[in-house]
Amino acid sequence: LAVDDGLRTGYHFQPPKHWINDPNGVMYYKGVYHLFYQYNPKGAVWGNIVWAHAVSTDLVDWIMLPPAIYPTAPFDVNGCWSGSATVLPDGTPVIMYTGIDGENRQVQNVAYPKDLSDPYLREWVKPDYNPVIAPGPGMNATAFRDPTTAWQGPDGLWRLVIGTKDNHRGLAVLYRSRDFKRWAPAKRALHSGDTGMWECPDFYPVTTSPAVGSGGGGSGNGTKHVLKVSLDLTRFEYYTFGEYDHATDTYVPDAALADGNDGLRYDYGNFYASKTFLDTAKQRRVLWGWANESDSATADIRKGWAGVQAIPRKVWLSSDGKQLVQWPVAEIESLRGAHANVTDTLVAGGSHFEVTGLASAAQADVEASFQVMDLDKAEPFDPAWRGADAQTVCAARGADARGGVGPFGLWALASDEHGERTAVFFRVFKGGDGGKHVVLMCNDPSMSSHADDLYKPTFAGFVDVDIAQTGGKIALRTLIDHSVVESFGAHGKTCILSRVYPTKAVGDKARLYVFNNGESDVKVTHLNAYEMRSAKITSDAVEPTKR
């Protein structure tokens, strides 16, 4: 069965064709948001990598510009890989990216805008003194990449970190510079872990307030620093946060947090190589991440495209200080159209109902609040699962395995008779640590498509809520976009993005259901499902004023 082109996204960012991966150099500069990204200008598979460029004034509609950074010099002849932008105090933006040089070494280069009066910063100049950072003696020159946004210490020096590895040890190595041109390695790495290569590190301050100060740096007053890395071995990202001492460049993660796959994740699904930026216009930190395809490379070539960016998410520290919280930027709500509404509707154990009234549920934003009526029906948490990751538990108890409390949630991108459906759901167990309930959030795509040749991993994360305290209530928001199901559980505590490829639940054939496969009844206290308009993606024609 062929994958339908009706699976292109309507409001998740993707270029008209070809392969994309990591978001790069994300920034806000003089009223314009810039998104650069890894791009193959020649096809729908990874290769020939350049920095494609798009700009927006609202993070919703995008103007596609010609590639900004592409191989031109010995220091990047074999590719322009990931990197970040830093806005200098005088207002000049600078990009630092990884170039693949003639010997296939990974080196770090800078690029500056050619013309600061061009509002879109279309053209970038690479000074001849590049590379500015080369792998030192004893370093792994083919695993030394993805520089972060730089920050300034109290001594006025710039700092940034670069991802690398030393045998199996992943490292975030620190460099310092006075002028952004000459960089010196610090004696100690900022952090390391026994995890394999660290790609795409990110390092930034957060507080429990979603609104950040315009300085963005800072420490004290409950500020924590987040270190996120991408693990190429498992294709997951994890983060820690803790205390960062600016004077000594020492980072100490909070004791409760683990490095590696047992650590906290931004997203428990298909979300990788992410990067944040400080949005000084709206005083928030915004996270961009890449969602790869999970069909075959052959299918991608046939489609002519591969890869999307997740919806940009606001990110901050939860009020209990135990994890980060994420929420889609409010701007995307401007795409909401007609909506269907459900209130105080009981879903008996073993039943389901369709949310009707949408012209199409293939492109929708669903906000739902559930209430479990009888938490005592929760199954015991199997002690064999202690220490197991959520994905293992969810694989053992998928959407169709009857439970005590749950599985309950949504069938997104469902066909008539729901032969195709992607289940996003919660399941509640009793007997966790301290006798508390354990809440699991899952995305089960095993029934998502009649097509073969698809990779359909079950994704799951635990949700840190005390569901007895909330009176059995738990919230779910799901952004549905043809081949994307991007969910935010418990107001952004647990997030899961999944790529699916229905063959029947396409366009106006796609439906939405609420289901409950548990013994306990569940009440939908309210549910709003909005049709979403498509974002406007335009190419960089002549500017209106010049026509």
> Smaller CB distance to ligand FRU: residue 291 or 480?
291
CA pair distance 22, 52, nearest whole angstrom: 11
CA pair distance 478, 497, nearest whole angstrom: 9
Q: What is the arrangement of strands in the sheet containing 93-100, beginning at the earlier edge strand?
A: 80-87, 93-100, 106-113, 124-125
302, 432, 438 from 462: Cα distances, Å: 37, 11, 7
Q: Do residues 510 and 361 make contact, with C-beta atoms less than 8 angstroms apart?
A: yes
Q: How far is the CB of 478 from ligand FRU (least distance, A)?
A: 25
> Smaller CB distance to ligand FRU: residue 52 or 87?
52
Long-range contact set of residues 214-223: C-beta below 8 Å, sequence gap at least 24: 214/280, 214/283, 216/278, 216/280, 216/285, 217/151, 217/152, 219/243, 219/244, 219/245, 219/246, 222/321
Q: What does the CA dihedral 447, 453, 454, 456 come to, rounded to 10 degrees? A: 60
> Smaller CB distance to ligand FRU: residue 33 or 81?
81
> Smaller CB distance to ligand FRU: residue 81 or 203?
81
Q: Give CA 271 to chain center in angstroms.
A: 5
Q: How far is the CB of 236 from ligand FRU (least distance, A)?
A: 12
522 SS3 class: strand
> Smaller CB distance to ligand FRU: residue 142 or 261?
142
> Smaller CB distance to ligand FRU: residue 289 or 445?
289
E-only strand ranges, 261-332 = 272-279, 284-291, 305-306, 308-309, 313-317, 324-328
Marked catalytic residue, from 5, 22, 249, 262: 22
> Smaller CB distance to ligand FRU: residue 49 or 68?
49
Q: How far is the CB of 258 from ligand FRU (least distance, A)?
A: 22
Under the phi-then-psi rule, with left for phi > 0, alpha for psi from -120 to 50, and beta for the rest, what region is 215? alpha
Q: How far is the CB of 150 from ligand FRU (least distance, A)?
A: 17
Q: How far is the CB of 79 from ligand FRU (least distance, A)?
A: 7
Output the DSSP codes for 162-186. EEEEETTEEEEEEEEESSSSSEEE-
> Smaller CB distance to ligand FRU: residue 164 or 415?
164
Q: How far is the CB of 55 from ligand FRU (least distance, A)?
A: 21
E-only strand ranges, 45-79 = 50-56, 62-69
CA pair distance 212, 226, nearest whole angstrom: 14
Strand pairing report for 363-372 and 473-481? antiparallel
Active site residue 22: yes
∠ CA 401-366-482, rounded to 5°: 80
Return residues touching ligand FRU (CB under 6 A): 21-22, 38, 49, 81-82, 98, 145-146, 199-200, 273
Q: What is the arrangement of strands in the sheet containing 224-231, beginning at the earlier edge strand?
A: 198-206, 224-231, 236-245, 250-253
Active-site residues: which are they?
A: 22
